[in-house]
Every structure is written in C-alpha cells, then in structure tokens.
Amino acid sequence: PPLDEILNLHDFEAIAKLVMAEKAWAYYSSAADDEITNRENHAAYHRIWFRPKIMVDVTKVDWSTTILGHRSSMPVYITATALGKLGHPDGELNLTRAGAKHGVIQMIPTLASCSFDELVDAAQPGQVQFLQLYVNRDRDITKRIVQHAEKRGIKGLFITVDAPQLGRREKDMRMKFTAEDPSEVTKSGSDGVDRSKGAARAISSFIDPGLKWEDLDWFKGITKMPLILKGVQRWEDALKAYDLGLAGVVLSNHGGRQLDFARSGIEVLVEVVSKLKEKRGLTFPNEKFALFVDGGVRRATDVIKAVALGATAVGIGRPFLYALSSYGQDGVEKALQILHDEFEMNMRLLGAQTIKDITPDMVDISNISSH
Ligand code: FNR
C-alpha cells in the first residue's frame, strides 16, 4: 500500500511481514523462547491509564526535550538494532537521514550493516548520534572502537549489559545464515562464527560474557563520553550505576530477545524511580542521571506514560526497522511524523503544554504495582 495509507506504527509491522525476505523477518521479529517478554513489553502499557487535565490552554503544545543535554524534537530516540541491510540495501543510513530530518537522535549499533564511519559521515552538521557498544573479549578492539567514536563526535556510549550470551530466538535459529548472503555484511563483526543457526548467533560470538562492574573504571579511563548501561532490569543495578557516577541507564530487556520472563521496561521504571527516591532522594526526570526505557513502545501515548513516570526519553526499535524494510527512508520519516502527530493530539487531550507538564499525577498506575 502507498505510504499515505499508513496510519500508525503497527501498520509497518503488518506490511513488513508481507514484503520482507523470510530470513530478515525472522531476525527482526523474533524474540527469546516463548516470546512472553516481547508480548509483555507492549501489553504493560495497556495497564496504565491517563488522568487528563481539562481547560488548560493547549492552543500551542511543545513536546521537544533534551536528552543528555542535546535537543531532541521529541522524547524518543532511534535505538540500536543490528543488521539494517537485512531489510533494505541502505541499511542504517535510512535511520540516520530520517533522524536528521526530524531532529531525532540515532543510536548506532556495534553490529550495524553500514560501517560506523559511513553513518557518522552521513549525519548533518550538529546531528547527534550515540553508540551502542558490545564489549569485545579483546579489550584493545573495544578501546579502539570507543576512542574512535569519541573522536568522531559520538555523544553517549550505551554499553549493552543484557547479552552475555545471545537469547534463543527460535524463529531466527530455524534459518540458516549463509556466507553468500549479501545482507550479512557487518563491518565490526567477528571471525570463526557458527553460521548454521540464524543471524543472531552468527554475529555475536565476540561479545565478552566476563564483563563486570569493575570494568567500568577502565571505560572511564579511556573515554570522556557519558556512559550509560543498556539493559538494566532491577533497581539495585540502577542504584549501583548511579553511585558509580554513570550518566544513566536504559531499562530494557532487549526487545524481549534475551531473558524471557524479564519484566517490561515501563514496570521496572516505576520500581527504579521509587527506590532511587527512597535511597538517594532523587527525583526524575533528572539532569544528572537519565532513565531511558525501551521495548514495545508503539504510540506517543506509550512515550507519554514513560515520561510521566520519570523517563527522560524512550527508545524505539522494530517499528523503524519495519518502516525501512517496507519503504526505506521515506518509511522511517513517516513513522517519525506519525509520532509527532500523535504527540500533538495527545498532549492537547491530556492538558499538557510541554513535556514538563507530563507529571506522575497524569497517569493511574494502580494496575501495575504497589511501589
Ligand atoms: C535489537 N536490539 C539490540 N540491542 C543492542 O544493544 N544491540 C544490538 O545489536 C541490538 N540488535 C537488535 C536487533 C533487532 C532486530 C532488534 C529488534 C533489537 C535491542 C534494541 O536496542 C531495543 O532494546 C529493542 O528493540 C526495543 O524494543 P522494540 O522497540 O523493538 O519493541
């Protein structure tokens, strides 16, 4: 269908399923084991309800914000998803270019199909990019990647901590990933890999399962970029990250692709905000320590719920992959435009003029927790 018939982010998924190569669909859509967490990620938002304010002047509404000190046209960023060329020959460039048009930050994955430099070169002057880091067993390689990224102007290093081993994504495992596959190209991947059990396994064998808290000192010694842990799932770990002086955490279960029965990021957010207030007197959103959430975000209302509960911004993954697979850059731009339109309408209906007006009293979370 033509792009103007797409009404929401869910639509991209339905179309991608029809038009994508089977292998690519399996890699993008799959999640771990019985995919319970993947479903829960989105379902958790259905348990949060709004408490809108009436008769606020919402002639003008503004949903722009700042993320780690950088302007963003909305409290959303394009999160890191590997192997963009499985879906489209231009791969992650579609995300860079669409991000530029809409003033949205892109997190470049370690396992991008395009080379890191290609994606940085494609950015517009002033366009902000982050880097997602898989830590290599060979720390010299990691050091080189990190220092190169800083030199190229990357504004935040998101270290993935939920993938000491790749989860079992059985849909993907049923697909053989062959060396001839042109879309397999990843410039920063690894050698001597098992290609017989799906894309994920083929590209991930270099990741260090020995990564530990003590290693963060080493990272602080090699870079000045803000450090963020991606994949935190309990308040105790968020507190530790804060105490170690990190810039933030992403409350995420990797789109349900790692530990099945991990909780949704939005529920973990409620726990983290409550405990960090209790233990350290922190309030959120917080300039010194950012809480990000990802997983299952498909509507501006989902984003608004996360913001109300204290998130600085949320990451969105699969919808942008489905958009680029179906329509290339135009698709990603359309996805971002849809989110903008949804923000405008929902801010008005909620009675919120700016992001600062989206406060905890705007949501009813009695169905999700007792924190
Ligand atoms: C991911 N994600 C991910 N995360 C990461 O830290 N490094 C990576 O290489 C990847 N690769 C990747 C590939 C694909 C196909 C998907 C769908 C996801 C996880 C990603 O950053 C994010 O946590 C989730 O995608 C968020 O969930 P949604 O928005 O996809 O539901």
How far is the first Cα of the chain from the last one, in angstroms, to the nearest whole number? 45
pLDDT given at position 192? 41
The pairing of strands 65-67 and 70-72 is antiparallel
Q: How far is the CA of 315 from the centre of ligand 1 (A)?
A: 9
pTM, two decimals, is 0.94
Interval between CA 44 and ligand 1 midpoint (Å)? 18
Task: Point out the residues that are catalytic.
Answer: 134, 162, 254
Taking residue 211's Cβ as centre, other Cβ atoms within 10 Å add up to 19
Of 323, 341, 361, 332, residue with least CA distance to 87: 323
Residues ≥6 apart with Cβ < 8 Å to 316: 9, 76, 77, 78, 79, 294, 297, 298
The phi and psi torsions of 293 (rounded to 5 degrees) equal -135, 140
Atom of ligand 1 nearest to the CA of 110: 9
Q: Is there a contact between 136 and 83 (Cβ–Cβ < 8 Å)? A: no
ipTM, 2 dp: 0.99
Six-digit token string for 359: 């406060």
Ligand 1, atom 6: nearest CA belongs to which residue?
Answer: 160
Residue nearest to atom 10 of ligand 1 (CA): 81
Residue nearest to atom 24 of ligand 1 (CA): 255
CA of 81 to the centre of ligand 1 (A): 4
Cα 162 to ligand 1 centroid, rounded to whole Å: 11
Ligand 1 atom index nearest CA of 28: 15
**Calpha distance 85→109 (Å, rounded):** 13
pLDDT in tens, the chain (371 residues): 999 999 999 999 999 999 999 999 999 999 999 999 999 999 999 999 999 999 999 999 999 999 999 999 999 999 999 999 999 999 999 999 999 999 999 999 999 999 999 999 999 999 999 999 999 999 999 999 999 999 999 999 999 999 988 898 888 888 866 544 544 445 444 434 454 566 776 678 899 999 999 999 999 999 999 999 999 999 999 999 999 999 999 999 999 999 999 999 999 999 999 999 999 999 999 999 999 999 999 999 999 999 999 999 999 999 999 999 999 999 999 999 999 999 999 999 999 999 999 999 999 999 986 55
Mutate which of 205, 257, 324 for ligand 1 pocket (most atoms within 8 A of beta carbon): 257
Atom from ligand 1 closest to the CA of residue 230: 6
pLDDT of residue 188: 46
Which residues make Cβ contacts (< 8 Å) with residue 30, sequence separation at least 6? 169, 170, 171, 172, 200, 257
Residue in 12, 27, 42, 79 to alter for ligand 1 test, most ligand atoms within 8 A of Cβ = 79
